[in-house]
A and B are shown apart, each in its own frame.
Chain A
Amino acid sequence: MRKMLAAVSRVLSGASQKPASRVLVASRNFANDATFEIKKCDLHRLEEGPPVTTVLTREDGLKYYRMMQTVRRMELKADQLYKQKIIRGFCHLCDGQEACCVGLEAGINPTDHLITAYRAHGFTFTRGLSVREILAELTGRKGGCAKGKGGSMHMYAKNFYGGNGIVGAQVPLGAGIALACKYNGKDEVCLTLYGDGAANQGQIFEAYNMAALWKLPCIFICENNRYGMGTSVERAAASTDYYKRGDFIPGLRVDGMDILCVREATRFAAAYCRSGKGPILMELQTYRYHGHSMSDPGVSYRTREEIQEVRSKSDPIMLLKDRMVNSNLASVEELKEIDVEVRKDLTLCCL
């Protein structure tokens, strides 16, 4: 009886007390910010590129960490739900590419615009929809952001134009959104994303031409994860320098696994566009852990060793964590707590 009462009281008091580790953490002195070196971007038709150092505040770092971890866990949950046949049809996951969606969002304003292809769950989240709305849509529920009528590839939010199923079609759409930005004269830009596979679509070159001709504030972004479905970049493109493929459009090649690199490059590109100089092209070099979609195990055209190597050396969440811990922006325990919270929120979401 006594043991039971003690157990009950522990549970009850645990609900209202801060856990011990958090109390400990609050009393530690963290740095407010830290300066990091980031990789220099390869440039095309640009005299200067983004800076090679950047300042990360503790607040921003924690925010980015939580966001990336949320995207990661959400995608893994989607994997689970798909295998349980609760998600049907197409399901293209972006785990491994978290630094892209979170980093891009960090470099722009909520009033800017973004459009991408079908690997869109991460962007749907970073552009403002809740995990609940996204999972509800993926599972075909009325409470989904498109009332269950869109599914994985057709989720929309304010200033987020999906989620597009036809490879490459979103690129002229993005240039059109940029046209509207210029037409309205509001200093907004449009981030127009496509993959290394889509980069060979003809309509993209039509969009490049018109965007450059009319100086549209369009940031073309090639999310190069090395494989278009099962075809590696070497087997698909005569030139794999995707940042140069815009020819007359200046370009930069960015380390897409480093969120700070992505953020700085995005800030640079957005400033370029906002100054009225016209479009610019960013290639984000990144990697997806899953196959092309849930129906692709992802190991017939690449080796498990390659996947494992990226996971151990370049995982975007790990890279940010190491940076923050090593420069005293956060503690390992604190970040672990965020992991736990994210998992808990996700579980609650799925009830």
Chain B
Amino acid sequence: MAAVSGLVRRPLRQVTVRDAINQGMDEELERDEKVFLLGEEVAQYDGAYKVSRGLWKKYGDKRIIDTPISEMGFAGIAVGAAMAGLRPICEFMTFNFSMQAIDQVINSAAKTYYMSGGLQSVPIVFRGPNGASAGVAAQHSQCFAAWYGHCPGLKVVSPWNSEDAKGLIKSAIRDNNPVVVLENELMYGVPFEFPPEAQSKDFLVPIGKAKIERQGTHITVVSHSRPVGHCLEAAAVLSKEGVECEVINMRTIRPMDMETIEASVMKTNHLVTVEGGWPQFGVGAEICARIMEGPAFNFLDAPAVRVTGADVPMPYAKILEDNSIPQVKDIIFAIKKTLNI
């Protein structure tokens, strides 16, 4: 009996990104009673996107708090609670609304440890969906990776798959610094294989370390969040044509893992960056600038190319929206252009 079961390969668990985040928060709430979650609709509604489903039922009013529609107010309250020693998770229903509260994120949270000469830490997590969704138009589709990535004092992470999502939210909650977790609404429902180690309650994905999702030799393709999936699709198509792409999932925007990117570029001699946000002053712009300043520049056989969202407020009509974010064909086009094929 034992011999037979040893031969049968059990399939890896499939977990959606939503459930992965939920699990991560649940485990951290259980582990440390100082952790609590606040935001609009996080408790009785189970979360606007159901990410906090079941948590209020399990932990109650003290630990899972529904707030009024007062981003500046409740973000400030969360930061104050963190200053006084609690470990809040502050949810923004989408990061578009974080603009109302951005002063609290930057001036009250991010800068305080430095300004106080190391006396006052702010162990807070700001999380929520970031970037384009589907048909929600201009005011609900902005990507904030570049805005938050700009600021010293903040850590900024951007998970792609379930493993990223669970490991990064746990690392963020355990980190004594303010961490911005940029999730993606369109990824919430996507299932991924969950490796066994990810099922442990102490599974952490380190902040500041990128992951090479696919090894390759001809070109380095760097991305974060949902576009990582598009890059892998493009890589699969190109593989049939004999072009092997090395796809890097950044996982962290700040502090950026330049070492992994540089090592890859020094191997492949070509670079394409892919992001959902606007091109000017974006994540790709920063990567390109740093490549120029570092050892990898001399290994480039062609200028690096950025694939980004279109430089317009997100339009509503589907055909316009589809063409305002990087598609697989755009990534393939950029790769071929860089490789001159």
Q: How large is the interface on B (under 10, 10 to 19, 20 to 34, 35 or more residues)?
A: 20 to 34
In the complex, which residues 62-81 of chain B have their Cβ closer than 8 Å to any Cβ of chain A? Answer: 62, 65, 67-68, 70, 72-81
Whether A172 contacts B67 in the complex (CB less than 8 A), given A150-B117, A161-B120, A203-B73, comes out as no
Q: Is the CB of A164 within 8 A of B108?
A: yes
Which of A144, A161, A176 is close to B77, meaning CB atoms less than 8 Å apart? A176
Chain A residue nearest to B34 (CB atoms) is A183
Does A23 have its Cβ within 8 Å of any Cβ on chain B? no
Which of A147, A165, A176 is close to B83, meaning CB atoms less than 8 Å apart? A176
Docked complex Cα distance between A146 and B111 (Å): 13
Give min CB distance, A327 to chain B, whole Å. 40
In the complex, which residues 89-118 of chain B have their Cβ closer than 8 Å to any Cβ of chain A? Answer: 103-104, 107-108, 114-118
Does B212 have its Cβ within 8 Å of any Cβ on chain A? no
Q: Is the CB of B103 within 8 A of A148?
A: no
Which of A144, A175, A209, A214 is close to B80, meaning CB atoms less than 8 Å apart? A175
Chain A residues positioned under 8 Å from B36 (CB to CB): 183
Which of B79, B81, B116 is close to A154, meaning CB atoms less than 8 Å apart? B116
Whether A210 contacts B77 in the complex (CB less than 8 A), given A172-B72, A183-B36, comes out as yes
Q: Is the CB of A169 within 8 A of B76?
A: yes
Does B186 have its Cβ within 8 Å of any Cβ on chain A? no
Q: Is the CB of B86 within 8 A of A180?
A: yes
Q: Is the CB of B78 within 8 A of A176?
A: yes
Does A348 have its Cβ within 8 Å of any Cβ on chain B? no
Whether A169 contacts B104 in the complex (CB less than 8 A), given A150-B115, A203-B72, comes out as yes
Does A317 have its Cβ within 8 Å of any Cβ on chain B? no
Q: Is the CB of B108 within 8 A of A210?
A: no
Q: Is the CB of B74 within 8 A of A183?
A: no
In the complex, which residues 203-247 of chain A have their Cβ closer than 8 Å to any Cβ of chain B? Answer: 203, 206-207, 209-210, 213-214
Whether A173 contacts B83 in the complex (CB less than 8 A), given A147-B117, A166-B103, comes out as yes
Q: Is the CB of B117 within 8 A of A144?
A: yes
Give min CB distance, B339 to chain A, whole Å. 48
Whether A179 contacts B115 in the complex (CB less than 8 A), given A166-B108, A172-B104, A206-B70, comes out as no
Which A-B residue pairs are the 8 nearest by beta carbons? A176-B80, A172-B76, A206-B73, A147-B117, A180-B84, A146-B117, A173-B80, A176-B77
Interface residues of B (CB under 8 A from A): 36, 62, 65, 67-68, 70, 72-86, 103-104, 107-108, 114-120
- Other A-B pairs beyond A207-B73, A209-B68, 16, CB < 8 Å: A146-B117, A149-B115, A149-B116, A164-B108, A173-B77, A175-B73, A176-B76, A176-B79, A176-B83, A177-B80, A190-B84, A202-B72, A207-B76, A209-B73, A210-B70, A210-B73
